[in-house]
Amino acid sequence: MMIIQVLLTSIILGIVYKKMLKWECDMSINRKQAFVPIFLGILATILTLVFALGIAFTFMNMGFTIENIQNVVIKSFVTSFWRAGLIEEISRLLMIILAIWLFKPKNVYEYILTGAAVGIGITLLEEFVYGEDIEGLLRLLTLGVHTIFGIIMGKYIGIGQYNKKNGLPYKRQYLIAFSVPVILHTIYDVCTVFNPAIFINNIDDERTGIWILIGLVCIVFTTIFQFVAIKHVKRDAEKYSKMLM
């Protein structure tokens, strides 16, 4: 099942990314610049695990564990933030910065491509790890979410760099580049991976039903959001391709 999951993910995201590469006006990005960030995304997932172990070890030494939190909603949010929203996005940011340093993108759209590629790499390794059972196939509905987070981060880093070069305000763009993916990622994981109905066992049937409904709504919204986001990338590709560094 895991092999099927990874294969389907590779095909679907590969098709999307190939289209994104063609949307750059002069299609000047080289193969190394286009595909090395995917491997950096895989590295980002490994780095996330290292960060997670480090944070867990630190909290244990301080005498604090997630189990100390009694409120199920707060427990879910704290878990999502520390295990995913914060450390995964820090890892993503570091790999995007490394890719920028290695390849010196020529325009804002190439920053977007870099972010997307890192997101694809993160997704591939996650599917390899989590795609072992039939429930993993449900992840196909939202498998582009890491790519979208990467696009957001790459886009606003690129706009920030462009604004900085041209003497325009840029700090707000950098803030958006990091904070928006962190917030979206945390909320997404609260509703899915760390949904109280799944993550926490000792809640009553009524709240379990409510959280299951919240999870389903989140999946539907995220599925639609992915298509809308990619449509916007296509629409704005020419504009961002002309924003030269």
Q: Is the pLDDT of residue 138 over 70?
A: no
Name the amino acid, one letter, at 31. Answer: R
Q: Is the pLDDT of residue 46 over 80?
A: yes
Q: Which of 156, 152, 214 is nearest to 189 (CA)?
A: 214
Q: Is the pLDDT of residue 170 over 90?
A: yes
Q: Is the pLDDT of residue 41 over 90?
A: yes
Percentage of residues of the chain with pLDDT beyond 90: 68
pLDDT on residue 136: 60
Percentage of residues of the chain with pLDDT beyond 70: 96
Q: Is the pLDDT of residue 67 over 90?
A: no
Structure tokens at 73: 């909603």
pLDDT on residue 64: 78
**Residues 6 or more apart in contact with residue 32 via CB below 8 angstroms:** 103
Q: Which of 241, 245, 240, 193 is nearest to 218 (CA)?
A: 193
Give the DSSP H/E element, type plus range, for residue 195: none
Q: Is the pLDDT of residue 133 over 90?
A: no
101-131 pLDDT, tens digit per residue, is: 999 999 999 999 999 999 999 999 988 877 6
Give CA–CA dist 241/245, Å, rounded.
Answer: 10
203-216 pLDDT, tens digit per residue, is: 788 888 999 999 99
The more confident residue out of 60 and 189 is 189
Q: Which of 2, 11, 31 is nearest to 144 (CA)?
A: 11
Q: Is the pLDDT of residue 134 over 60?
A: no
pLDDT on residue 1: 65
Integer CA distances (angstroms), 49 to 54, 56, 120, 164, in order: 9, 10, 17, 33
Q: What pTM, to 2 d.p., does this model score?
A: 0.94
